[in-house]
Amino acid sequence: MFRAVRLIDPASGRDEHGDLLVRQGIIADLGPNLGQPEKALLVQEEGAVLCPGLVDMRASLGEPGYEYRETIASAAEAASAGGITTLAALPDSVPAIDDPALVRLLRARGEETGSLTILPYAAITRHCGGEALAELGLLREAGAVAFTDGARALRSGRLMRLALSYACGFKARIVQHPEEPSLAEGGAATEGELATRLGLPSIPAAAEPILVARDIRLAKLTGGAVHFSHVSTAEALDLIRAAKADDLAVTCDTAPPYFDLNEMAIGEFRTYAKLSPPLRSEDDRLAVVAGLVDGTIDAVASDHQPRDADDKRLPFAQAAPGGAGLVTLLSVTIGQVHSGNLSLMQAIALLTDRPSKLLGYQAGGLAKGAPADLCLFHPDRSWRVEAGALPGKGQNTPFDGRVLQGKVLGTWKAGRRVFG
Amino acid sequence: MYPRQKHLLAIAGLRPPEIGHLLDLAENYVLLNRSGKTQRDLLRGRTLINLFFEDSTRTRTSFELAGKRLGADVINMSVSTSSVNKGETLLDTAATLNAMQCDLLVVRHGQSGAPHLLAQKVEAAVINAGDGTHEHPTQGLLDALTIRRRCGRLEGLLVAICGDILHSRVARSNIHLLTTMGSRVRVIAPPTLMPSGITALGVEAYHSMRDGLRDADIVMMLRLQKERMNSGLVPSAREYFRFFGLDSEKLAYAKPNALVMHPGPMNRGVEIDSAVADDPLRSLIKEQVEMGVAVRMAVLDSLSRGPR
């Protein structure tokens, strides 16, 4: 039983001080001044917030294929430390998740952890290779929540059209990494003054809106639903905003680095700040914040891309892109509450209810009878991010050295405490 | 002179007195070298390793000569860039160098930032001898010394840097150095070879030699690599030479006694015409090579006195 905490539940709009009672893994009751049953285990933290366990709609697990970077067990440990109880896993592993058996395997591996529900994305194309459509129907039937080729953009306009159109019949979204591949190829930073100073091969920011514009047109043509991941530019957000105003089935998410950091984080060749898409200008960062505030951005995802030290201890252009994001997801997002841009309710909604609805999965709510997937955090308490000392194997955080305000105190999966 | 810095990784970030001090020191070494004397006790017992991941005859020889004239033990290491895992080689090499107790490490690498990475891992003072398309600080210093000796100053001069600015580490080091020292710098390139945001570095950008060279005191040409033609940045060598190659006709747009520089090696007939390159009254190209040795002696000298 949680006593005298601030209960925040975006699904119902609840924001009140009260208690929450868990019985046999299920939320038995919640509200102000509940009677305290005998033998109840009490959890009480002054000033703490209890919200639904976070739903992370985009993360790479490392497993299968890159176990040296992260395993499902280590990702689950990091997720729990970040307050995440449900996670949508990208399919561009080795092998790619392009077979119904692999979708079922991932779901089962999630259940085995006992702490993390894994919702598998399945590949749009076989091997995420961008050439032949995967068996979308069978994959959907096996439990794929949506389709994406992960960190690879689907290059062919024709295939994108087919995928949107075909997936529509199975009521599934196509999730796109929005970066025009021929403009992005070989690039390591956003084109502009910083890349010029450092002499780095660069990607024009326009690579993002170019692909977003194409895919919005294709969504309109096919009636299909497209979702853009880790949107990072003002121009792409303008296109998405306009598409939403036209009632097209267009949605998007972003990740904490894109509203908290700009390209200056690269400093002198810091490879932990090498991400895909690359960090942007300050103007683009501000546009992402505005997109969170006005609701153009539907969700915040960790965009967790675990990398080994050997992937990162290389000259910048050769280093693997991607940042570890599970542990810092909540804290960095809460940063937008402290800076006055978002309400706590908005921030929690972006991390729970809204991604849950996008994934079509019942999670991320505080309601009687719902599984007790819970996150207890203190919005004001601070902690220091230290690469090398984070839970899980992925240590490549772009926030290394930062002091973040907002700390996860405990995480519960189906009523069982898995962190804290 | 380097109370602040242990390494020389870039010109960006150096302050005018630091640059001025290095140039003054180099000036002394020019005189010393010309007098035929040496100063072999300065780096006696110190080990200088030339670690070259890219082929270079000129720069490597220049550092080798500089080290030897100051009495250092000089070792040349060429590392094959064809090995499959270049990154591993870089860090493995760092471990090897630490074991060898190298004092001064001169690095050339095809990737921007590689010397920065090495500097974090080795105990030696690291000197960047050219990294990717980032910087080539000793080239910037030797170019500045060459100009300063001939014109007596850097401040107020109009320097035009022409050619493949996008891929040129020489251009970046020269831009930082010359703007820091008060020169006016123009860059001239076809739009496809002009890096984005270049004017934020304090230069004026031009796409035509006629406009860009007007009133220039110094015309600095850059090497155009053949792969630029293959990747479609420039349609052909002859088209490039027609619009951006320096011949006497285009040189006439600059000041009547304007001087010509080139970091070498030259592609004659692509970016520069032989008549201009070999004109003893206008070309500083041979002098640049001489200054290279003196500047590198100055850098080795000052870094060997730096914080250890």
Q: How many CB atoms lie within 10 A of CB A101?
A: 10
Q: What whole-number distance in Å separates Cα of residue A300 and Cα of residue A341?
A: 14
Residue of chain A minimizing CA distance to B195:
A196
Give pLDDT, residue B37.
Answer: 87
Q: Which chain A residues touch B if contact means CB-CB below 8 Å?
A: 191-202, 204, 268-269, 310, 313-318
Domains of chain A, start order: 54-364 (3.20.20.140)
Cβ <8 Å between B172 and A199: yes
Q: What ipTM was predicted for this assembly?
A: 0.92
Pairing of strands A202-203, A189-190: parallel
CB B92 within 8 A of CB B108: no
- Interchain proximity B113–A197, CB inside 8 Å: no
Kindly report, residue by residue over B56-95, the tens digit of the pLDDT: 889 999 999 999 999 999 999 887 655 545 556 688 888 8
The low-confidence residues of chain A, meaning pLDDT below 70, are none
Q: What is the DSSP letter of B92?
A: H
List chain B residues with CB under 8 Å of A199: 112, 131-135, 169, 172
C-alpha distance from B307 to closest chain A C-alpha (Å): 21
pLDDT of residue B86: 54
Cα atoms in the Cβ-side hemisphere of radius 13 Å centred on B305? 10
Q: How far is A198 from chain B (nearest CA, A)?
A: 5
Mutation for testing the A interface, residue in B8, B81, B84, B112 having most A CBs under 10 Å: B112
Query: Which tens digit of pLDDT belongs to each residue from A392-406?
Result: 999 999 999 999 999
* Residue from B136, B184, B223, B282 carrying the catalytic annotation: B136
Taking CB atoms and an 8 Å limit, are A199 and B117 in contact across chains? no
Q: Residue B306 has what pLDDT?
A: 64
pLDDT in tens, B173-226: 999 999 999 999 999 999 999 999 999 999 999 999 999 999 999 999 999 987
* DSSP states of A3-16: EEEEEEETTTTEEE
| Structure confidence at residue B80 (pLDDT) | 65
Peptide bond into A100 cis (omega under 30): no
Per-residue model confidence (pLDDT) at position A387? 96
pLDDT at position B95 is: 85
Q: In chain A, which residue's Cα lies nearest the Cα of B90?
A: A314
Q: Is B121 exposed, middle or buried (0-12, 13-18, 19+ CB in 10 A)?
A: middle
Chains A, B: CB contacts within 8 A come to: 73
**Contact yes or no for A313 and B117 at CB 8 A:** yes
Helix, strand or coil, per DSSP, at residue B11: coil
Residue with tokens 């006696």: B44
Q: Do A198 and B117 touch (CB under 8 A)?
A: no
Nearest to B140 by CA among B303, B25, B306, B295: B295
pLDDT for position B90: 82
Q: What confidence score (pLDDT) does residue B79 get?
A: 77
Searching chain B, which residue's CA lies closest to the CA of residue A320? B87
> Which chain B residue's Cα is nearest to A317?
B111
For residue A316, list chain B residues with Cβ-Cβ distance below 8 A. 111-113
User: What pLDDT, in 10s, does the model give residues B28-62?
Assistant: 999 999 998 888 899 999 999 999 988 888 999 99
- Residues of chain B positioned with their CB less than 8 A from the CB of A314: 87, 90, 117
Residues B60, B108, B169, B184: which is the catalytic one? B108
**Residue A303 annotated in active site:** yes
Asked whether A391 and A121 are in contact (CB, 8 A), the reply is no
Tokens 């700040």 locate to: A273
Q: Chain A partners of B12 at a C-beta cutoff of 8 Å?
A: 197
| CB-CB contact of A391 with A78 (8 Å) | yes
Selection from B142, B133, B177, B138 nearest residue B159 by Cα: B177
What pLDDT is recorded for position B2? 46
Chain A residues touching residue B198 (CB < 8 angstroms): 196
A269–B116 C-beta distance less than 8 A: yes
| pLDDT score at B92 | 83
DSSP A99-160: SHHHHHHHHHHHHHHSS-EEEE-B-SBGGG-SSSB--HHHHHHHT---EE-TTS----HHHH
- Asked if residue A418 lies in contact with residue A73, where contact means CB atoms within 8 angstroms, the answer is no
Mutate to test the interface with A, among B121, B134, B173, B187 (most CBs of A within 10 A): B134
Contact flag B117-A315 (C-beta cutoff 8 Å): yes
Name chain B contacts of A194, Cβ cutoff 8 Å: 197
Instruction: Give CA–CA dist B135/B151, Å, rounded.
Output: 25
Smallest Cα distance from A178 to chain B, Å: 22
pLDDT in tens, B247-305: 999 999 999 999 999 998 999 999 999 999 999 999 999 999 999 999 999 999 999 98
